Structure 1
Amino acid sequence: MSKEEIIIRDQLKETYADVYTKEVLEALGGLAPFNQEVKKLMEIRLRRRKERAQNGKRIDFLNPETNIPGSNIKVQDARAGNFEGAVIPSDLQRQWIQGTGPGAKPNAPLESSIRNVAYALLSGADGWMFDGEDALGQVTTMSLDNQRNLKLAIHGSPVFLSVAERVAGQMNAWSKAFFGEEKITDWRSQLGFTTKIFRARGLHLDDRHIELAGGNSFSAAIADLTLYVTNNYRALMDAGSSVVLYLPKIQTAEEAGLWNRLITALEEHLGLAIGTVKVYVLVEQLEATFQLMEIRAVLGKHFVGYNTGRWDYINSVSDALSWDQEFINPNIESIGMTYGYMRNYEDRVRRAVNTPDRQGNYALWQGGMEPNIPVGSDAGVQSSMEKALAGAGREQREGASGKWVAHWKMVHIVRPVWERVGEPNQMGRKFPPLGYSPEDAAGLVLLEEAPRTIRGARNLLSVGLQYGNAFGQGMQAAALKPADFFGNDDVLYLMEDMATGEIRLSILWEWLHKKAVITENDPESGVKAGDVFTLELFERLLREEYDKLLNASDKDVHDSSKTTTLPIARQIVDVYVKDSTKIPWFIDLLNINLNNYNQKEAEKRIKLYVKHLKETGQRITANLDFSA
């Protein structure tokens, strides 16, 4: 492949010369030709989605007699473990608790922004997934600030160490009040305890700061992979640490194979042994659950484990079955990890990681996210922490080697669930082998009876609106709760990211366009059990929930957002839910309005996106404000 010229906007190459180093720019140029492959696979993804909708066809397993698309590995060999996998490195053998969150804050000076990294590395988590995707705001230059902060921390820069020392004191003050003891005894040594992990953006997103000569938008996945690994591999390896990534939003083994070629090409460019970079894969897409062993096989020596999350996965199931009038989700609160299709999804993942490869190696299963944070009334905190511990205990018993938390304060609350057991991981636990029958396929879209209520619809709307607003403010990870619980400290804020907004609007879209039946009387609205969720009802609830946000205190909804990003979030919710064409990603409409606070301009961009999607079948993913 020939190199293509990289264009970086608005003098950012100079402003972020410590991020866009000579070595990074050379690596970007070397990987740039893969950009065309990324675009092609994303076109195939959308075409597959459209064809399934048109033909009313559900996702199914691959033909075992064929090769995995884009590879020379036979499907049956992948399922049997007849491939070369990875030996789990020592610093990933025990990952009881992984924290997640971004390494930067929106519009913050360096010493404030980099505090995020200090909290993470002093938290006592076994690993921390520094997010470049769902939890990282993308306003202005946040993606580059994230990369800069991580590089400064990994290289032990004086500015980071100075901040870390101060943060350690503040964390100890909190832990002494909450636990009765300080948790950080030596802050310098504590910084080396946590394995650093980075989540790159998915193949479906474009970078906001890079284009190719000729105006072609550039894959955010390639940008994130290249910047993080190239800037940090030496320092990580010199410290005896692995170079570890989380790969999001993969739908097929063919897409995982492209990731594998990208990583291999970067390793070769940097002179690293193949398999130096290790990857977890987030199982966030329904289709991926039909190809788990195939994904393991094509990632080969890079693959170390799977993660089972909740919000993105529910969204993918909803989207994949948007054409099926009989498939209607209940209230989001009912769709936990033991619900119908979620239970079967988790079970397939644990069977897949415990299928040995050719060398007898197993892989890791990292459990899902704990969104609770211990901030609220005593009763509220106690109740929520009991739920958090119960959820962690369930995952440990089911075979997970650890789980995620969304806030540093949760690490020492949840970690003892695994600490008491004492085993570093649960790789190799015996489970039945994976099946590939029609019954197995049906289980992955299994609905079970659960409530569908007006209270549920209000919660979906309120949180969906708030996440859209938070996104526009640069806070893709935020602690939120439905407006009706503002001021009630017994109901805790949940620390979640953009994916929770995606699924809430997907469910509302289902309820409206599939004529969902409400299951309970609601005296406040006058809606009765058996009534259909109508357009008029949606518009009424949207008005009422939006007004609650406008009237909320600055603590819950920043006053400055009420005339800027909140009205735009409302426009997007209105269009997304009401349009008969199911838009693939709520985040698309938010992305094209980043750094835009003009409501008329937002309306113009939203119409442009919808028109383009309907006429071409393609999404708009480029930065509309890019200027070379």
Structure 2
Amino acid sequence: MNKEKIIIRDQLIETYADVYTKEVLDALEIMAPFNREVKKLMDIRMQRRKERAQKAIRIDFLNPEARIPGSDIRVKDARAGNFEGAMVPADLQRQWIQGTGPGAKPNAPLENSIRNVAYALLSGADGWMFDGEDALGQVNTMSLDNQRNLKLAIQRSPVFLKVAESVAAQMNAWSQSFFGEEKISDWRSQLDFTTKIFRARGLHLDDRHIELTGGISFSASITDLTLYVTNNYRALMDAGSSVVLYLPKIQTAEEAALWNRLITALENHLGLPIGTVKVYVLVEQLEATFQLMEIRAVLGKHFVGYNTGRWDYINSVSDALSWDPDFINPNIESIGMTYGYMRNYEDRVRRAVNTPDANGNYALWQGGMEPNIPVGSEAGVRSSMEKALAGAAREQREGASGKWVAHWKMVHIVRPVWQRVGEPNQMGRNFPPLGYSPEDAAGLVLLEEAPRTIRGARNLLSVGLQYGNAFGQGMQAAALKPADFFGNEDVLYLMEDMATGEIRLSILWEWLHKKAIITESDAASGVTAGDVFTLELFEQLLVEEYDKLLKASSKDVHESSKTSTLPIARRILEVYVKESTKIPWFIDLLNINLNNFSQKEAEKRIHMYVKQLKETGQRITANLDFSA
């Protein structure tokens, strides 16, 4: 591969010299040629999506006799476990609870921003997935702040240790009030308890700070992989820790094979044995569930486990079947992990990780996200925590080796579910082998009867608007709830990230364009059970829910946002839901408006995106404000 010239915008190479070190810049130059492969696979992905919609084709299993694209492995060998996988390293053997969240805050000085990392590493979680993707804001230089903070924490810098000591005292004060005891006895030793994991951005995203010669946008996946591993592998390995990544939004084994080549190339460049970097894969896309063993096989010595989650996966199912007039999701609250297609998805994942590879190795299954936060009225917290524990107990019974929580306060509430059982993991549990029949395929898109209500539509709209607003403010993870429940302490805020925003708009799009039938009457909006969700109804509810946000206190909707990012969020939601050509990613429209507070400019950018998507089938993923 010929080397390509890396261009870093403005003076960031000097401002973030501790992130863009010479070693990192050398590695980026080596990795740059892979950018063409990423772009090619994303073009293939969009073409595949277009053809399925045009020809009304559902996703199906691969031909067992074929070779997996991008590899030398046959599909039938992958399914049979005839490949060399990875042994799960010691610090991943027990991952009862993994926390997740970003390692930086928007527009915050270092000592404030790095507190996020301190909360995580003092939480008592077995692992913490520091998010570079769905929960990390991308305004200004947040992605670089995230990398800097993680490097400082992993290297145990004085600034981090100072902050950690202060944070430990605060966390103990909360624990004393909630549990009746302190949870951190020795904050310094506690910092070594949690395995550090990093989630890179998906292949569908571009970095905001790097371009290649000629104004070619550069893969965020390559950027995140290169910066995190190159900056931290020595310190992690010197401390006896594994180098671990979460890989998101993979749709096919061909895309996973590209990830494998990326990781292998970086390991070779850094002089690391192949398989040094370990990866979990988030099963967030419907198509991936048709290729679980194939994905596992092509990642080979790097792969340690799958994670199942709710939000992104629902969105992917909705998007994959956007062409099908009969596939209409119910209220989002009805689509839990035991619902129709979700139940079958989870079952396939647990079967896949418990299929042994050629050396008898199994893989981990990490369960889904617990979005509740124990903040609210006594009754509200009690009710929500009961639901959280019931959900965790169900996943443990079903075979998960652990689950995620979205806030450090939840770690010691949920972790005892696995701690009481005492086994480090559930690898090797006996489940039936994976099937590849038409019935198996049908189960992955199985709808079950559930309500579609005006209350459900209001919840989708209100939180969708708030999320778009929070994104523009630099908070890609935010504690939100529908406006009708502002001030009601019995209804708790839930941690929402990019994935929850995506699915809310996707369901609204379905209801409008597929003429969803409302199942319950609603006197306030003049709707009778059996009525269709019309454009007029959508516009009426949008006006009403938006007005509630304008009248909300600054606690729920920052006053300054009501004349800046909130109206832009409204316009994005409106365009996304109304467009007959379904926009593939809500995040695209948000990303092209990052750091933009002009309604006029937002209109221009949204129009440009929609026009290009319709005329060429291409998304706009570059930073429109890039300045060399």
Q: TM-score, normalised by structure 1?
A: 1.00
What CA distance in whole angstroms lies between the structure 2 residues aligned with 1:376 and 1:105? Answer: 23
In the TM superposition, residue 70 of structure 1 has moved relative to its aligned partner by 1.3
Give RMSD over aligned pairs. 0.3
Partner of 2:48: 48
Partner of 1:355: 355
**Does residue 157 of the first structure (1) align with residue 157 of the second (2)?**
yes
What CA distance in whole angstroms lies between the structure 1 residues aligned with 2:406 and 2:114? Answer: 17
Partner of 1:575: 575
What CA distance in whole angstroms lies between the structure 1 residues aligned with 2:409 and 2:97? Answer: 12
Partner of 2:376: 376
What CA distance in whole angstroms lies between the structure 1 residues aligned with 2:174 and 2:97? Answer: 20
Partner of 2:465: 465
In the TM superposition, residue 495 of structure 1 has moved relative to its aligned partner by 1.1
What CA distance in whole angstroms lies between the structure 1 residues aligned with 2:358 and 2:528? Answer: 58
Partner of 1:331: 331
What CA distance in whole angstroms lies between the structure 2 residues aligned with 1:527 and 1:564? Answer: 33
**Does residue 174 of the first structure (1) align with residue 153 of the second (2)?**
no
Partner of 2:513: 513
In the TM superposition, residue 2 of structure 1 has moved relative to its aligned partner by 1.3
Q: What pairs up with 1:415-564 in 2 under 5 angstroms?
A: 415-564=415-564
**Does residue 602 of the first structure (1) align with residue 605 of the second (2)?**
no
In the TM superposition, residue 496 of structure 1 has moved relative to its aligned partner by 2.1
Farther-moved stretch of structure 1 (495-504 vs 137-146): 495-504
Q: What pairs up with 1:97-496 in 2 under 5 angstroms?
A: 97-496=97-496
Contact kept, 8 Å, 2:104 with 2:145, in 1: the verdict is yes
Q: Classify the secondary structure of the residue corresponding to 1:562.
A: helix
In the TM superposition, residue 362 of structure 1 has moved relative to its aligned partner by 0.1
**Paired AA for residue 345 in structure 2:** Y
**Paired AA for residue 490 in structure 2:** D
What CA distance in whole angstroms lies between the structure 2 residues aligned with 1:512 and 1:402? Answer: 38
Deviations 1:420-479 (A, max 9, x none): 000000000000000000000000000000000000000000010010000000000000
What CA distance in whole angstroms lies between the structure 1 residues aligned with 2:268 and 2:43? Answer: 28
In the TM superposition, residue 498 of structure 1 has moved relative to its aligned partner by 1.0
In the TM superposition, residue 3 of structure 1 has moved relative to its aligned partner by 0.9
What CA distance in whole angstroms lies between the structure 2 residues aligned with 1:301 and 1:577? Answer: 42
What CA distance in whole angstroms lies between the structure 2 residues aligned with 1:617 and 1:245? Answer: 31
Moved over 6 A (4+): none
In the TM superposition, residue 114 of structure 1 has moved relative to its aligned partner by 0.1
In the TM superposition, residue 211 of structure 1 has moved relative to its aligned partner by 0.1
Contact kept, 8 Å, 2:325 with 2:514, in 1: the verdict is yes
What CA distance in whole angstroms lies between the structure 2 residues aligned with 1:474 and 1:621? Answer: 18
In the TM superposition, residue 157 of structure 1 has moved relative to its aligned partner by 0.2
Q: Classify the secondary structure of the residue corresponding to 2:434.
A: coil
Q: Which runs of 5+ in 2 are unaligned?
A: none
In the TM superposition, residue 607 of structure 1 has moved relative to its aligned partner by 0.1
What CA distance in whole angstroms lies between the structure 1 residues aligned with 2:214 and 2:283? Answer: 35
**Paired AA for residue 454 in structure 1:** I
Contact kept, 8 Å, 2:481 with 2:492, in 1: the verdict is yes
Q: Classify the secondary structure of the residue corresponding to 2:92.
A: helix
**Paired AA for residue 491 in structure 1:** V
What CA distance in whole angstroms lies between the structure 2 residues aligned with 1:264 and 1:562? Answer: 47
**Paired AA for residue 101 in structure 2:** G
Deviations 1:474-495 (A, max 9, x none): 0000000000000000000001
What CA distance in whole angstroms lies between the structure 1 residues aligned with 2:214 and 2:573? Answer: 34
Deviations 1:192-234 (A, max 9, x none): 0000000000000000000001110000000000000000000
What CA distance in whole angstroms lies between the structure 2 residues aligned with 1:545 and 1:583? Answer: 23
**Paired AA for residue 367 in structure 2:** G
Contact kept, 8 Å, 2:564 with 2:598, in 1: the verdict is yes
**Paired AA for residue 382 in structure 2:** Q
Q: Classify the secondary structure of the residue corresponding to 1:524.
A: helix
Deviations 1:293-331 (A, max 9, x none): 000000000000000010000000000000000000000
**Does residue 28 of the first structure (1) align with residue 28 of the second (2)?**
yes
What CA distance in whole angstroms lies between the structure 1 residues aligned with 2:301 and 2:466? Answer: 41
Q: Which runs of 5+ in 1 are unaligned?
A: none
Contact kept, 8 Å, 2:467 with 2:496, in 1: the verdict is no
The alignment covers a number of residue pairs equal to 628
Contact kept, 8 Å, 2:353 with 2:427, in 1: the verdict is yes
Deviations 1:362-392 (A, max 9, x none): 0000000000000000000000000000000
What CA distance in whole angstroms lies between the structure 2 residues aligned with 1:2 and 1:39? Answer: 17
Deviations 1:493-523 (A, max 9, x none): 0012111010000000000000000000001
What CA distance in whole angstroms lies between the structure 1 residues aligned with 2:413 and 2:70? Answer: 44
**Paired AA for residue 6 in structure 2:** I
